[in-house]
Amino acid sequence: MSIDTAPSATALDATSSAATRRDILHRLLMTLGPILAALVIAGCILLAVGVDPLAYYGYVLEKGLFSPLGIQQTLTRMAPLLFLAAGLIVAFRAGMWNLGGDGQFLLGAVTAAASAPVLVEIMPAWLALICSFLIAMVVAMVWSLVPALLRAYQGVNEIITTLMMTFLGTSFANVLVKLVFRDPGTTVPQTRTLPVEDRLPRLFDTTITSGLLLGLATIIIVHLVMTRTAFGLKLRIVGANPRAAVHAGLGVPGLTIAVFAISAGLAGLAGAVDIIGVQGNVRADWNPAYGLAVIPAVFLARMNGFAAIGFVFLLSMLSIGGESAARRLGVPNHFTLVLVSIVLIVLALAEYVDHRYNQSRKA
């Protein structure tokens, strides 16, 4: 709509829909272009180590997307990643860098793994699973309390504190598995295993976990809360301009603690959904490091929930496909990470060039 009093204002109405379309096209180009460029660059690296890039990408697509088993694995892997992405969207939109996702994830996973097998014996399975989810969420929230309080009342940089807490969290989760929740019935240190029939149901006749639906629902709800509600707007004000938040009378410390609690709680749920839906138990020293892997996907999606679903799918496919492609072609397993980081670097460069171009056009 246009309410400018300048004569050119009426013209704006007619062109605005064309402008939005151009804007979306531009966004799409700015996202997909760098990804393609990154694939080419990564291909060159593969060539340099003597691997046929086309074969590699072919395997990734086949194993991650086109084979029935692959796509089911990809979709199953998405469930915890979606919860983590939802948590990061809340934190990043509020301008807080919760990089402690892995510690929160593992503590959630371990407490869910410890509580679920016990609870299913004393109450209905559905209630037991809900209780395990809640326990995992609360434990992860408590774990985020130290960085949250330090940031809210002392202004201590949360990047450092959450990273420190994530190291402590992963080690603590290990200690819990080995010393407290260890299953006496096995020789390898791991928690008691949740029977398959008590886990989250699978979808139809596939191996896809119904945790995927929970993840999708969660990230969409988080997106709507952040964009459509007063609470979300308050968080975004804190993130975009903390001084404006103080000026507008928002309770910044309280909101800060809420952000950390929600973000960490969702990370804890991610751990629970992975255990209760898929793994069934936690082995000692298990750390999939999903928390850090999801960060680039959330950035690429610009903290938009719907776009994040797409990028989480891409990430999930790359990691599932990349694992088998790596095995087949003798590429290190971590090449997926190399690929993702090249995408990020190219994307940042594209952003920079675009910004410079806009600046020079304005001048």
Partner 1 sequence: MSSHSSPPADISDIVALEGVTKRFPGIIANDSINLSIRPGEVHVLLGENGAGKSTLIGMLSGLQQPDEGRILVDGKPTPITSPRHALALGIGTVFQHMMLVPTLTVAENLLLGGSWWQRPRTEELEARVAEITSSLGITVKLHAKVSELSLGEQQQVEIVRAMVRNSRLLILDESTSMLTPKGIEELGALMRRLVGQGLAIVFITHKLKEAAAFGDRISVLKLGRKVGEIPPERFRALDEQEIISEIVELMFGKQKDDPEAAERPIRTVRTEAAPLLQVADLAVAATDNAPGLSSISFDIRPGEILGIAGIDGNGQKQLAEALAGQRTATGGSVRLEGAPIEGLSVGERRQRGLRYLTDDRLGEGTVGTFPVSINFFLKQVGAAPFWRGGVEQRAEIDRRAAELVREYDVRTPSLKTPVARLSGGNIQKVLLARELAEGAKVVIFNKPTYGLDLANTMASRQRIRDTAARGLAVLLISTDLEELLSMCDRIAVIANGALVGTVANADDARTRVGRLMIGLAA
Q: Which residues form the interface with partner 1 (CB under 8 A)? A: 1-6, 9, 12, 16, 228-231, 233-234, 236-237, 240-241, 243-244, 246-251
Shortest Å distance, C-beta 223 to partner 1: 13
Shortest Å distance, C-beta 349 to partner 1: 22
User: Closer CB to partner 1, residue 9 or residue 175?
Assistant: 9
User: Closer CB to partner 1, residue 47 or residue 244?
Assistant: 244
User: Closer CB to partner 1, residue 178 or residue 247?
Assistant: 247
Using left for φ > 0, alpha for ψ between -120 and 50, and beta otherwise, residue 314 falls in alpha
Shortest Å distance, C-beta 21 to partner 1: 15
User: Closer CB to partner 1, residue 206 or residue 227?
Assistant: 227
Shortest Å distance, C-beta 245 to partner 1: 9
Shortest Å distance, C-beta 7 to partner 1: 12
DSSP output for 124-181: -HHHHHHHHHHHHHHHHHHHTHHHHHIIIII---HHHHHHHHHHHHHHHHHHIIIIIS
Shortest Å distance, C-beta 8 to partner 1: 9
User: Closer CB to partner 1, residue 78 or residue 257?
Assistant: 257
Helix (H) or strand (E) run with residue 61 in it? helix 53-61
Side chain identity, residue 22:
R
Q: How many C-beta neighbours within 10 Å does residue 241 have?
A: 13
User: Closer CB to partner 1, residue 231 or residue 357?
Assistant: 231
Shortest Å distance, C-beta 251 to partner 1: 8
Shortest Å distance, C-beta 94 to partner 1: 13
Q: Write phi, then psi, for 288 (nearest 5 degrees).
A: -75, -10
Q: Is 125 exposed, middle or buried (0-12, 13-18, 19+ CB in 10 A)?
A: middle
Q: Write phi, then psi, for 182 (nearest 5 degrees).
A: -65, 135
User: Closer CB to partner 1, residue 42 or residue 238?
Assistant: 238
**Paired tokens of 27:** 């966004």
User: Closer CB to partner 1, residue 71 or residue 94?
Assistant: 94
Distances (CA, A) of 285 to 174, 189, 325, 334: 6, 9, 25, 18
State how far the Cα of 10 lies from the Cα of 336, in Å rounded to an integer: 50
State how far the Cα of 93 lies from the Cα of 302, in Å rounded to an integer: 9
